[in-house]
Amino acid sequence: MKTMKIMVALGFAALAGCGSTATQQQEPSLKEALKDKFHIGAALNVDYIWERDPKADELIKYQFDAIVAENCMKSMFLQPSEGEFFWDDADRFVEFGEANGMWITGHCLVWHSQAPAWFFFDENGDDVSREVLIERMRNHIHTVVGRYKGRIKGWDVVNEAILEDGSWRQSKFYTIIGKDFVDLAFRFAHEADPDAELYYNDYNEWHPGKVATIVDMVQRFKAEGIRIDAVGMQGHFGMDYPSIEEFRAAIDAYAGAGVKVMVTELDMSALPRPQRGAGGANIADTVAYKAAMNPYTAGLPEEVAAAWDKRMGEFFRLFIDNSDKVTRVTFWGVTDETSWKNDFPVRGRTDYALPFDRDYRAKPVVKEIVAMGNR
Ligand code: G3I
């Protein structure tokens, strides 16, 4: 009898989902709960794209209706040397999205980072002329957007061109071409696929200086007939920044300029933010400093996990309340294990930035978001 009771109890435990993603999937999904609000997505690394992480892929297909490529569509991977394109990962990414009926976003056409070195230089190592760089940009955009015409629904056309104070980043695109590299990039993307949505994507887009410059740019694009559909707000949050109010004000400002808002790279670090330098020159201090920066290697304490869930829930409350303006929310990854936050801004830490833990289990906030969506 006693054995029987234990077996029944174990059976219920399994049904209740102790660690099983299959069981979790009996819970309503994010995409089902949010279907009348906005697309809910995840960034896919190459393992997810090639379905080499079955538990993560199961989650992706069950929970999300939108995907973006975390790395494989960046120019250094797509065109590592001039005129030589590598399509395998990107093709497979698009096939994955199509096979699962997902909203597919391309990331990203023009970015100062993860661009191949050849892009900006001539055979002597000198900067190319404005004309040459425009032509290289045109060719890259036409080739990539053209290949996926009608299949990729929207593109992050330009990524991270504006700094927090509202000034322009002194990237090679900016210094060689000038500010109109952004206009040209959007024009080229529109030529290559007139039906694709086009986005400007950036981080810390709640800083008032950045908001002002982006709003000006959007308004000028509208006045000059350059297509732009949305501002992608990356949303790499910490536990103490930004405030909900700062983020709300930025959503309102972009919507007021006449575009939609997408929360494109959502994650939230649970770890302390390092100050610059440990101070002093004692190597032991540095080691202590490093350990203090990585406090949760054995797991996230309950109170920190609860604070993380609460804050993430508050952001989803904001997104849902603004679902007339917000058309997509995409997490930058799926599980804590593979988040880029484990290596940024300090390498080799154990962070807890995403909605699914290292055992592929949904954090409590997932259930809460589902409930909010259904309300
Ligand atoms: O591809 C190489 C591989 O050949 C090599 O073996 C391996 C060894 O480290 O590195 C691989 O490249 C890594 C690449 O991701 C692909 O995995 C780079 O080292 C690594 O730095 C790179 O990091 C990516 C980062 O962009 C690059 O800037 C992150 O995964 C990715 O999450 C991150 O994403 C960016 C968005 O595109 C734009 N917004 C900010 C966001 C976070 O930085």
Residue-level pLDDT at 25: 56
Give the mean model confidence (pLDDT) for residues 186-198: 98
119-133, 164-178, 285-299: the lowest-pLDDT one = 285-299
Q: How far is the CA of 241 from the centre of ligand 1 (A)?
A: 23
pLDDT one-digit tens code per residue, 3-61? 333 333 333 333 333 344 544 557 899 999 999 999 999 999 999 999 999 999 999 99
Separation between Cα atoms, residue 205 and residue 259, nearest integer Å: 14
Minimum CA distance residue for ligand 1 atom 29: 340
- Work out the average pLDDT over 243-257: 98
Nearest-angstrom CA–CA distance, 192 and 171: 24
- Which residues does a 6 A CB cutoff place in the pocket of ligand 1? 70-71, 113-114, 159, 203, 234, 265, 340
CA–centroid distance, residue 346 to ligand 1 (Å): 14
* Number of the ligand 1 atom closest to the C-alpha atom of 159: 38
Cα–Cα nearest to 342, from 82, 105, 263, 333: 333
In this predicted structure, the answer to whether residue 209 has a pLDDT above a threshold of 90 is yes
**How far apart are the CA of 71 and the centre of ligand 1, in A?**
6
Residue nearest to atom 11 of ligand 1 (CA): 71
Catalytic residues: 160, 265
pLDDT of residue 302 exceeding 90: yes
Distance CA 293, CA 272 (A): 6
Please list, in sequence order, all residues whose beta carbon lies within 8 angstroms of the beta carbon of residue 69, skipping any fewer than 6 positions away. Answer: 43, 44, 49, 89, 90, 93, 106, 107
Q: What is the pLDDT of residue 156?
A: 98
pLDDT above 90 coverage of the chain, percent:
86
46, 71, 335, best to mutate for ligand 1 pocket (most atoms within 8 Å of CB): 71
Q: What region, left, alpha or beta, does residue 108 occupy, with left being phi > 0 and alpha being psi -120 to 50 degrees?
A: beta
- Nearest ligand 1 atom to the CA of 339 is 32
CA separation for the pair 362, 354 (Å, rounded): 9
Distance CA 210, CA 250 (A): 10
pLDDT of residue 24: 54
What is the atom index within ligand 1 of the atom nearest the CA of 203? 39
Strand 230-233 and strand 236-237: pairing? Answer: unpaired
